[in-house]
Amino acid sequence: MRKVAFVTGGSRGIGRAIAVRLAAEGYAVGIGYLQSREQAGALAETLRLQGADALAVQGDVADREAITAAIRSVEASLGPVSVLVNNAGIAGQCQFQDIPDSFWHRMFAVNVDGAFHTIQAVLPHMIHEKSGSIVNISSMWGLRGASCEAAYSATKAALIGLTRSLAVELAPSGIRVNCVAPGVILTDMVRTLGEDTLHMLAEQTPLGRIGAPEDIAGITAFLAGDGAAFITGQVVTADGGFIV
């Protein structure tokens, strides 16, 4: 059966690197995006020129109807989704007592509800085929927590709980569910912290550097593929040793 992957938040950063890696490993790739239409379209075109099948589709993961429609478009063009990577997410810093309801609820809507919506959209076919792989992208802050990032950390911890519970529930159907918890990765979001902060974070990382999106793409592709056929319910921390 043809291998088809759908990557949410796939137009840039970690999601882009994952889409590129999966395409290189022979997957047809659906690239989900919300606002980065040009970037997503350009990535899909690049992958097609390299011989892969790829499609960019718009949809807010927080909107069940929108993201389900996006997944159906991928299925119609590329085939049923056999690998789902829940990468789309938002972050933000705020002291807990100052968090407005809108900030809290939007964080959960994207980071947690988004995974809920996408998994439910692809699951019927996976259950029917008794095969499939789901990889949720969490964060090391979902394991340890971070000052002024209570909302973000809570959502990423929720993804870890979701991963472990679904792994047990879906194992009898032959579906694997795993999680990657990245550390500090050089993306547009992280670049906004400034050079001084990035230098400090690199110094705090035992491996002595900030991670690259490709570092996360590699472990994600491994967990998605046949090489991890006996791995489910695991949370793999890729943070250069930051929270050892």
CATH number at residue 178: 3.40.50.720
In a domain, 149, yes or no: yes
Query: Does residue 131 fall inside a structural domain?
Result: yes
Domain annotation covers residue 100: yes
Look up residue 194 and give its amino acid: G
44 is a domain residue: yes
DSSP structure class, residue 96: G
Distances (CA, A) of 176 to 163, 166, 171, 232: 9, 9, 6, 5
DSSP H helices in the chain: 13-24, 37-49, 64-78, 101-108, 114-129, 141-144, 150-170, 188-191, 195-204, 213-224
How many CB atoms are closer than 10 A to CB 216? Answer: 27
Instruction: Give the model confidence (pLDDT) of 105-159 as tens digits.
Output: 999 999 999 999 999 999 999 999 999 999 999 999 999 988 999 999 999 999 9
Of all residues in the chain, the percent with pLDDT exceeding 90 is 93
Q: Which residues pair with 6 in a beta bridge?
A: 30, 84
CA dist., res. 169 & res. 182, Å (int):
25
- What is the band of 193 on the pLDDT scale with cuts at 50, 70, 90? confident
Q: Which two tokens stand for residue 150?
A: 């209570």
- Of 33, 141, 152, 222, the active-site residue reads 152
* 226 three-state secondary structure: helix
Q: How many residues does the chain have?
A: 244
| Both structure tokens of 154 | 């809570």
Strands of the 54-58 sheet, one edge to the other: 54-58, 28-33, 4-7, 83-86, 132-137, 175-182, 235-238
Q: Tell me, yes or no, whether 244 lies in a domain.
A: no
Is 113 a member of any domain?
yes
Q: Provide the pLDDT for residue 38.
A: 96
Residues 6+ apart with CB under 8 A from 152: 91, 92, 93, 107, 111, 139, 141, 146
User: What is the tally of structural domains in the chain?
Assistant: 1
- Cα–Cα distance between 60 and 15 in angstroms, integer? 15
Mean pLDDT of 149-174: 98
Asked, for residue 243, whether it belongs to a domain, the answer is no
Digit-coded pLDDT (tens) for 203-231: 999 999 999 999 999 999 999 999 999 99
What pTM was estimated for this model as a whole? 0.96
Q: Which residue has the tokens 């490709």?
A: 214
pLDDT at 104 over 80: yes
Active site residue 27: no
Q: Which amino acid is at 84?
A: L
How do residues 1-32 score in pLDDT, each as one tens digit? Answer: 789 999 999 999 999 999 999 999 999 999 99
Instruction: Check if the beta carbon of residue 217 is closer than 8 Å to that of residue 14.
Output: yes
> Does a structural domain hold residue 198?
yes
| Closest among 239, 215, 238, 226 to 17, alpha carbons compared | 215
Domain limits for position 89: 4-238
